[in-house]
Amino acid sequence: MDKIMIEKLHIYAYHGVHASEKENGQDFYVSAVLFTDLYKAGRSDALEDTVSYSDAAKLIYRVFTAEKYDLIERAAVTVAEALLDAFPALRAAEVRVDKPDAPIGLEFDTVSVEITLSRHTAYIGIGSNMGDRLKFIDKALAMLEETPGISVTAKSSIIETEPYGGVEQDPFLNGVIELNTRLRPYDLLDRLHEIENACGRVRTIHWGPRTLDLDILLYDDLHMNEKELTIPHPDMKNREFVLKPLAEIAPHLIL
């Protein structure tokens, strides 16, 4: 992947655990690697076909000095998130923060942290079979759109399906949505649970009725199998109410 590099942007700021650091401030150096496709700009010689390093540097300065953080880890993450949110052409942003005057009490050159945030494609199954089903689905979509770091890039048709799992209950409305997100899998899962809870989701009966159900089906090509989260969704191959809407918005996928 092509990249634009901003190295050691000098910023005087007020980050640190100690009160004196927040009061007196100190020198920081912020570096960023912006991953994007530069071929079109290289052919056209047009600024609109690339990411302006001037605009990116000014954004880094503005975000880095907007608040006082205890940890440079927090400052680095905040800058990386802001870069991805501000420049849709970026595929990833790598941010390094150097703190050469850290109060360590030993001789050293610098201390630093570095983080890389990337854009990911995720597919989310959505369903409801309690109350105003369509209203819950619309509310979930609106809350996802309002979430920093998430954009809804495709929505399937909403279909009515019979219950799955052997529990006697009302029919479901189901669909699948495609997201572009910088959130990592567990952060995305936490946000989905927040939205479910906001719609009155109560987990009492496995595969039972619910006001809203949001499941991570796919996340890039990631395979993970942990206690709280399995990707790809382990039962999606048996669920026509998942496969049919998924095929509608992503017919190119090979599962």
CA pair distance 245, 255, nearest whole angstrom: 14
DSSP 82-145: HHHHH-TT-SEEEEEEEETT-S-SS--S-EEEEEEEE-EEEEEEEEE-SSSHHHHHHHHHHHHH
Which CATH architecture fits 3-118? 2-Layer Sandwich (3.30)
Q: Tens of pLDDT along the chain (255 residues)?
A: 899 999 999 999 999 999 999 999 999 999 999 999 999 999 999 999 999 999 999 999 999 999 999 999 999 999 999 999 999 999 999 999 999 999 999 999 999 999 999 999 999 999 998 888 999 999 999 999 999 999 999 999 999 987 765 565 678 899 999 999 999 999 999 999 999 998 886 655 455 577 898 999 999 999 999 989 999 998 888 888 899 999 999 999 988
Could you list the beta-strand ranges (E) of 14-110. 26-35, 92-99
H or E element that contains 213: strand 213-219
pLDDT of residue 203: 57
**CATH top class, domain 120-249:** alpha beta
Q: Where are the domains of the chain?
A: 3-118, 120-249
Residues carrying an active site annotation: 99
Which token pair is 235? 């039962």
**Confidence (pLDDT) at 164:** 66
Q: What is the pLDDT of residue 255?
A: 80
| Residue 19 vs residues 24, 28, 69: alpha-carbon distances, Å | 9, 17, 11
User: For the whole model, what pTM was predicted?
Assistant: 0.88
